[in-house]
Amino acid sequence: MELKRPGHERMFQWVQMCRIDLERPGLGNNTADVERLKRGLSQALQGDEVDVPWRIWKDLPSVLRRCDFSVTALVFRHSDHWRVMDVLPDSPPKPKYALGVDLGTTTFVCFLLDPGTGATVAEKTVANPQIETGPDILTRIHYAGTGDGLDHLRQMARDGINRAVDSLCMETGIAASDIVVAAVAGNTTMTHFFLGLDPSNIRREPYIPVVNRPGWIPCRDLGLNLHPESFAYVFPNVGSYFGGDLISGILASGMHRSPDICFLVDVGTNAEVVLGNSEWLLACAGAAGPALEGGVAKMGMLAGDGAIEHVRIDPDTLEAVPSVIGGTKPVGICGSGLIDLVAELFSKNIIDQRGKIRALDHPRIVETDSGRAYVVAPGETTGHGGDVLVSQVDLDILLRSKAAMYTILTTITEEVGITFRDIRRFYVSGTFGTYIDPKMAIRIGMIPDLPLTTYVPLGNSSALGAKAFLLNRNRLDEVMEIAGKVTYLELNVNQRFMTLFSAAKFIPHTDPSLFPSVKLEHRGG
Amino acid sequence: MELKRPGHERMFQWVQMCRIDLERPGLGNNTADVERLKRGLSQALQGDEVDVPWRIWKDLPSVLRRCDFSVTALVFRHSDHWRVMDVLPDSPPKPKYALGVDLGTTTFVCFLLDPGTGATVAEKTVANPQIETGPDILTRIHYAGTGDGLDHLRQMARDGINRAVDSLCMETGIAASDIVVAAVAGNTTMTHFFLGLDPSNIRREPYIPVVNRPGWIPCRDLGLNLHPESFAYVFPNVGSYFGGDLISGILASGMHRSPDICFLVDVGTNAEVVLGNSEWLLACAGAAGPALEGGVAKMGMLAGDGAIEHVRIDPDTLEAVPSVIGGTKPVGICGSGLIDLVAELFSKNIIDQRGKIRALDHPRIVETDSGRAYVVAPGETTGHGGDVLVSQVDLDILLRSKAAMYTILTTITEEVGITFRDIRRFYVSGTFGTYIDPKMAIRIGMIPDLPLTTYVPLGNSSALGAKAFLLNRNRLDEVMEIAGKVTYLELNVNQRFMTLFSAAKFIPHTDPSLFPSVKLEHRGG
């Protein structure tokens, strides 16, 4: 039998296409079709075991005979064996694709990969349709407990992905049936919704998820309209508060293989923090996010067109010079813009160390119904014609968020008996990580005063991890290793935490020796 | 954790009920529900791997909490691990049942087993609904190739089994969802119909089935209305002409474990013959059956109420004294009756050694449109009022059948270089085996003249093998061993075969030294 072995670079793919010439049957060679295929494939796949699921049997006799027993088999690596997905006549096979999904609370990021080249062929971000039942996850958990709520949430997650896939296919001309493998990473609750599992125990003491390691599930059962024999890998979670999106993020960062100690910070609704290296991984999470994600400040918004992403304040006029995403007129301000703004307001002496806006007689300082505010962009320059301003309340919230972040980082570092100086790389993931200027975040005392080269923006680390997984099946072992290694540290909001927190609410901190570079900057400013 | 281990006698069952007290979750013990169950079960099952399929996940949290983590899990042994079928509150579990199916061309024999006691709880024989599309398998193979024929045949097989199950459940009060495992044994073509597989290559050179080893298939996929998570084992076939019913028959006979050489003969449409022991198994088949199964003789019928199963002929009156199944008036004659009749006709000198009815002047010898005939039961004694008679044509067919049988036995024995005297046990399966009197079969020269104790009627060996399989999962290895060991001998109808066949058409044979006991009997008669 002549074997056309797949090239070496394909050996670690989840799905392979094997072109094989099977022995033709004869009176002295009357093995059945299924067993003939199995044997031929096993030989082509270095003796690995091959499973031919019974849905494949029906069409096999005619396919084999139509092309005189020279076929292309699509095989999927399932645990320790190969599973036949399809047997095709021996025509030049079309490329096959992989689907990655970052199953976020707010958005789904879906992308198609070409595992042959490793390229992302197309990407689509869609709003999570579940938002219709509630913007935040707690509302949805409540909704899941009412009537058909859970099933509805499952359907919405499924439909959202299917619609994104439709649109990706439309855009690229790829057939959904040519998408042959998928990986889905989401937080524990989103993963539960996606699988149709009761999330109520996740947020109720003692915080028990239904499942921690969902693994491979047939796309058919999940209702995903991909290749009918395809499987989707659902990333494991470590517990209720540490989901598959973070496992995927760790995978993307590579910190689990690093001899040096690294930080990974993902700011969403919560700030999620992982500290560790190839030996150990410690994780914790805390409410530090909303202001940074734009969810709380009155003028806050998610990074997107019209959002002020960066701000400088003219030292002479004390007027803000905003940089707006998309180059349009500003309509709001996102997390990175807020951080810049606070840093600039402080360095220009418009706010004091506690973040209070000084009673300056200046057109940009105004009194509103909800207290004093600073006008970042006056109405005549904005997209909606109203002022974009930041109130004292907004600033207070931001400072609490930044203090929470710094305190969480301090606490987890102290927990393992190291100092910030032991950190070699600090990965910042998410939209926040993409837009934030670490220098500014240091200036307000949100993140430690480490050399700027320590900070590495990761982008959507959950999606990146899913991509890494889909391109190389060796990553499965790493995922399981990460899931087995992560220790979750329950943040204990005790006296010590509150003391640290209070000190961290100052700009940059009550102990300026912690921020030597900021001191210089401030003096110089 | 307190473990209630299943008793030792259950250790080899396919499905076990494990009652386990799982550790209660707590803040320091927050394993997810699925992994908690998995771990608890694995400990209860001596460390075996346990798979919790995702369909089980949905209801798990509420079941676990409803009974405070003391549950009964139903687990099925799938290859090298246990697969959870169900998790039930820890109430006294109801017994679970196994379904065996002998998937015959003419009838389906379906029976329920209690694997705890090994008892057959109920049995139901139903006509194969496929008969509607053709009584013989070749007509059905043709029908399978037309339009939706194949799918229709698959549905009829499925519906036939489902109806039999319904009726078994009705009769016993057992719920279909308490039937948790199944085994199906049929010939290669029937197995293909049942699985919805194209049978056309089975009867077309070089005779290639679609599959030889179907193995375990989810009942849900097969459309069998049993426990939703149950699997059915479909017996393997060795090739087109040696099906799972025979593998199952060998299993039932135990000949594959015997140090002595044994014969297994199954007479259906074909005579199927296996010769061998624990070392080797040689099989062949030939057209020897119809007359014996009652399909050809004009008055022939299947063994059943009204069939003459045994006959003696009064040496003085030369009148037949029939024994009728069910004690009713006779309406026809079945295979064993025909054999008795020929033996008696010959011993009373009514037919000669070639089986020709002598031109005796006797009221029981009549001339009909189709030649001379012997009246077994005159009209006034029969169920339908007409004579039950056996014509010369019927006798000729029977003698050809018995000659074919003897020739096949001779040929296969010669093939391995042994003689009939080396045979220690001769298993006769099927209805034929149940009713036939070996002494009579020897007298007409159909089977070798071995000590009568050599002959062992097996009954429905295909059903018996399925039962043995369902009661003990160690039998799976034996089934695979049998399937791997059987060599199929293609009968070569050459000059040698025809010479043997011609000699065997005589009663008992042209060479009477082959039948020493018959010689005595005949002289004595």
Mean pLDDT (chain A) is 91
List Cβ neighbours of A388 (8 Å cut-off, separation of 6 or more): A299, A308, A330, A331, A332, A333, A375, A376, A377, A382
Cα torsion A504, A506, A507, A511 to 10°: value is -70
A308 in helix, strand or coil? strand
- Both tokens of A394, joined, read 């907004």
Please determine, for residue B295, whether its predicted confidence score (pLDDT) is greater than 80.
no
Among the partner residues B27, B34, B213, nearest to A205 by beta-carbon distance: B27
Phi and psi angles of residue A59, each rounded to the nearest 5 degrees, phi first:
-90, -5
List Cβ neighbours of B450 (8 Å cut-off, separation of 6 or more): B420, B421, B423, B426, B442
Q: Could you say which DSSP state residue B206 is in?
A: T
Select the more confidently predicted residue: A92 or A123. A123
- d(C-alpha A371, C-alpha A393), whole Å: 8
pTM of the model: 0.90
Q: What mean pLDDT comes out for the span B354-359?
A: 95
Q: Please report the beta strands in A241-337, taking only residues with DSSP state E, as ranges in sequence order.
A: 261-267, 271-276, 281-286, 307-313, 320-324, 332-333
Please determine, for residue B210, whether its predicted confidence score (pLDDT) is greater than 80.
yes
- d(C-alpha A399, C-alpha A355), whole Å: 7
How many residues in chain B?
Answer: 525
Cis amide bond preceding A206, omega within 30: yes
Residues of chain B contacting A54 with CB distance shorter than 8 Å: 195, 214, 217, 221
A31 in contact with B at a CB cutoff of 8 Å?
yes
Among the partner residues B26, B33, B214, nearest to A54 by beta-carbon distance: B214
A349 in helix, strand or coil? coil
Residues of chain B contacting A55 with CB distance shorter than 8 Å: 221
Q: Residue B245 has what pLDDT?
A: 95
pLDDT tens-digit map of A346-377: 999 999 999 999 999 999 999 998 889 999 99
Cα torsion B295, B297, B299, B304 to 10°: value is -40
pLDDT tens-digit map of A382-417: 999 999 999 998 899 889 889 999 999 999 999 999
- Dihedral over Cα of B143, B149, B151, B152: its sign: negative
pLDDT tens-digit map of A151-195: 999 999 999 999 999 999 999 999 999 999 999 999 999 999 999
Please determine, for residue B291, whether its predicted confidence score (pLDDT) is greater than 70.
no
Strand order in the sheet with B332-333: B320-324, B307-313, B332-333
Give me the total of CB pairs closer than 8 Å, taking one residue from chain A and one from chain B. 106
Q: Residue A521 has what pLDDT?
A: 53
- d(C-alpha A469, C-alpha A471), whole Å: 6
With 0-12 / 13-18 / 19 or more C-beta atoms within 10 angstroms meaning exposed / middle / buried, residue B169 is buried
Task: Judge: B197–A25 Cβ closer than 8 Å, yes or no.
Answer: no
pLDDT tens-digit map of B163-193: 999 999 999 999 999 999 999 999 999 999 9
Rounded to a whole number of angstroms, the distance from the CA of B212 to the nearest CA of chain A is 6
Task: Judge: B239–A32 Cβ closer than 8 Å, yes or no.
Answer: yes
Q: Residue B521 has what pLDDT?
A: 53
The identity of residue B339, as a single letter, is I
Please determine, for residue A314, whether its predicted confidence score (pLDDT) is greater than 90.
yes
ipTM score assigned to the predicted complex? 0.89
Beta partners for residue B114, in sequence order: B119
How many residues in chain A?
Answer: 525
Mean pLDDT (chain B) is 91
The identity of residue B352, as a single letter, is D
Q: A244 and A187 in contact (C-beta within 8 Å)?
A: yes
Residues of chain A contacting B54 with CB distance shorter than 8 Å: 195, 214, 217, 221
Task: Judge: A208–B30 Cβ closer than 8 Å, yes or no.
Answer: yes
pLDDT tens-digit map of B259-283: 999 999 988 767 889 999 999 999 9
Q: What mean pLDDT comes out for the span B357-378?
A: 93
Taking CA A268 as the corner, what is the angle to CA A266 and CA A272, rounded to the nearest 5 degrees?
40
Select the more confidently predicted residue: A427 or B270. A427
Residues of chain B contacting A205 with CB distance shorter than 8 Å: 27
- The percentage of residues in chain A with a pLDDT greater than 70, rounded to a whole number, is 93
Q: Which of A296-305, A432-441, B371-380 has the lowest mean pLDDT?
A: A296-305
B213 in contact with A at a CB cutoff of 8 Å?
yes
pLDDT tens-digit map of A320-347: 999 999 999 999 988 889 899 999 999 9
Residues of chain A contacting B26 with CB distance shorter than 8 Å: 206
Q: Which of B28-37, B121-130, B511-520 has the lowest mean pLDDT?
A: B511-520
Residues of chain A contacting B31 with CB distance shorter than 8 Å: 208, 212
**Among candidates A513, A521, A299, A286, which has minimal Cα distance to A407?**
A286
Q: Residue A491 has what pLDDT?
A: 82
- d(C-alpha B373, C-alpha A70), whole Å: 60
Question: Distance of alpha carbon B217 from its chain centroid, rounded?
Answer: 21
pLDDT tens-digit map of B307-351: 998 999 999 999 999 999 999 999 998 888 989 999 999 999 999
A27 in contact with B at a CB cutoff of 8 Å?
yes
- d(C-alpha B325, C-alpha B310), whole Å: 9
Q: B34 and A212 in contact (C-beta within 8 Å)?
A: yes
Confidence of residue B304 (pLDDT cuts 50, 70, 90): confident
Q: B500 and B411 in contact (C-beta within 8 Å)?
A: yes
pLDDT tens-digit map of A221-237: 999 999 999 999 999 99
Q: What mean pLDDT comes out for the span A117-137?
A: 94
pLDDT tens-digit map of A429-472: 987 777 788 999 999 999 999 999 999 999 999 999 999 999 99
Q: What mean pLDDT comes out for the span B517-523?
A: 64
With 0-12 / 13-18 / 19 or more C-beta atoms within 10 angstroms meaning exposed / middle / buried, residue A383 is middle
Q: Residue A300 has what pLDDT?
A: 66
Select the more confidently predicted residue: A302 or B41. B41
Q: Residue B292 has what pLDDT?
A: 52
A311 in helix, strand or coil? strand
Residues of chain B contacting A239 with CB distance shorter than 8 Å: 30, 32
Which residue on chain B is closest to A489 by alpha carbon?
Answer: B28
The identity of residue B487, as a single letter, is T
- The percentage of residues in chain B with a pLDDT greater than 70, rounded to a whole number, is 93
pLDDT tens-digit map of A78-94: 989 999 999 998 777 78
Please name the residue ranges forming H helices in A238-391: 244-253, 290-293, 335-347
Task: Judge: A57–B211 Cβ closer than 8 Å, yes or no.
Answer: yes
- d(C-alpha A3, C-alpha A18), whole Å: 9
Q: Residue A253 has what pLDDT?
A: 97
pLDDT tens-digit map of B412-455: 999 999 999 999 999 999 877 777 889 999 999 999 999 999 99
Q: What mean pLDDT comes out for the span A210-230?
A: 97
**Among candidates A80, A214, A230, which has minimal Cα distance to A161?**
A230
Among the partner residues B30, B34, B35, nearest to A207 by beta-carbon distance: B30
Which residue on chain A is closest to B237 by alpha carbon?
Answer: A32
Rounded to a whole number of angstroms, the distance from the CA of B245 to the nearest CA of chain A is 17
Q: Residue B9 has what pLDDT?
A: 36
Stated as kind and residue range, the H or E segment containing A479 is helix A475-485
Q: Residue A11 has what pLDDT?
A: 41
With 0-12 / 13-18 / 19 or more C-beta atoms within 10 angstroms meaning exposed / middle / buried, residue B476 is middle
